């Protein structure tokens, strides 16, 4: 996975969890390794259901969350406060018993795998699950590194599928990156699917380059606001450049907090 929690983004989620009355219900959708699930549970305030699509990832996440919570806060009864669900959140059928029962959903680095229809399905489910006027959605999407090239592409194409390639010059021992990367952006071809990431070293005129190809759905603040419609109001936006994310990060992130409006 290669991702780790980002304090600025996690702070928004965890501060909100901690400010809630006890035993409010939250979801972590696309929990991955469960880093946010653990944080939410350790506030001691929330009951969290963690959804993960991939079976192997799900099992690893479940074991990791249980172990970490027991180690750090043995006074919490993990069996009571956490639920683990393996499968596709977008196809789960929630009965009327779930309506309005949730105070928060975390969707961290997941929506860049989803097209507009999938994001729309997620928004519909979240709106149904949330307490009106109270529930908050914490959503972070990965975006290509901003720059002239990507900005031009984004202006011409709005949000949607994007292929981008980042080319970094390597030092002579191939252990470090020199200078500023070159980034090219275009529409992906048919075989280049979202989630595609491919890294290789290429030699050009006796120079070695680390080449990273990536395909994703990219979103902007405006496209997310459109997808959220009138069921949510964006109350906070955080833009993170690669340097805010980590020393090896080569992408950027857009993070929003949105409040469920009253119907
Ligand atoms: C890049 S990881 C991020 C994991 C975690 N949220 C984090 O911030 O570290 C995205 C995860 O979302 C999961 N995922 C993608 N679509 C999903 C879906 N429809 N339902 C449940 N999980 C999904 C993937 O399997 C993957 O583990």
Residue 188: helix, strand or coil by DSSP?
A: coil
The mean pLDDT of the chain is 90
Tell me if the pTM is above 0.85. yes
pLDDT of res. 126: 97
- Quote the ligand 1 centre to 210 CA distance (angstroms): 26
Q: Are 113 and 195 in contact (CB under 8 A)?
A: yes
Question: Tokens standing for 213?
Answer: 């190809």
- For 152, other C-beta atoms within 10 Å of its C-beta total 11
The C-alpha R_g of the chain, in whole angstroms, comes to: 20
From 7, 12, 32, 39, the mutation candidate for ligand 1 (largest count of ligand atoms within 8 A of CB) is 32
- For 201, other C-beta atoms within 10 Å of its C-beta total 11
Q: CA–CA separation, 13 vs 160, rounded Å?
A: 27
Structural domains in the chain, CATH included, are 7-143+219-260 (3.40.50.150), 160-216 (no CATH)
Confidence band (pLDDT; 50, 70, 90) for 263? confident
Which residues approach ligand 1 with their CB closer than 6 A? 1, 3, 29-33, 35-36, 51-54, 57, 88-90, 108-110, 113
| Atom from ligand 1 closest to the CA of residue 107 | 6
Question: Tokens standing for 126?
Answer: 């979240």
Q: CA–CA separation, 66 vs 76, rounded Å?
A: 11
* Section 104-117 average pLDDT: 93
pLDDT of res. 1: 38
Backbone angles phi, psi at 179, to 5 degrees: 65, -160
* Section 165-187 average pLDDT: 87
Question: Tokens standing for 33?
Answer: 């390794």
Give me the residue label for tokens 């729309």: 120
């Amino acid at each position: 996975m290669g991702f780790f929690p980002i304090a600025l983004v996690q702070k928004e989620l965890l501060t909100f969890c901690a400010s809630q009355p006890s035993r409010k219900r939250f979801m972590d959708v696309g929990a991955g390794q469960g880093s946010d699930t653990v944080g939410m549970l350790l506030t001691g305030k929330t009951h969290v259901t963690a959804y993960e699509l991939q079976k192997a990832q799900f099992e690893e996440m479940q074991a990791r969350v249980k172990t970490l919570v027991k180690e750090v806060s043995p006074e919490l009864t993990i069996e009571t406060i956490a639920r683990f669900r393996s499968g596709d959140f977008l196809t789960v059928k929630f009965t009327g018993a779930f309506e309005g029962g949730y105070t928060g959903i975390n969707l961290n680095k997941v929506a860049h795998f989803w097209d507009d229809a999938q994001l729309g399905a997620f928004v519909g489910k979240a709106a149904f699950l949330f307490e009106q006027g109270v529930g908050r959605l914490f959503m972070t999407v990965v975006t290509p590194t901003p720059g002239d090239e990507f900005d031009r592409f984004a202006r011409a194409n709005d949000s949607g599928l994007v292929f981008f390639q980042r080319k970094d010059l390597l030092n002579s021992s191939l252990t470090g990156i020199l200078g500023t990367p070159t980034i090219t952006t275009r529409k992906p071809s048919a075989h280049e699917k979202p989630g595609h990431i491919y890294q290789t070293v290429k030699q050009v005129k006796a120079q070695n380059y680390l080449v990273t190809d990536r395909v994703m759905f990219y979103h902007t603040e405006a496209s997310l606001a459109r997808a959220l419609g009138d069921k949510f109001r964006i109350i906070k936006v955080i833009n993170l450049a690669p340097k805010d994310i980590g020393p090896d990060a080569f992408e950027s992130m857009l993070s929003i907090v949105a409040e469920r409006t009253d119907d």
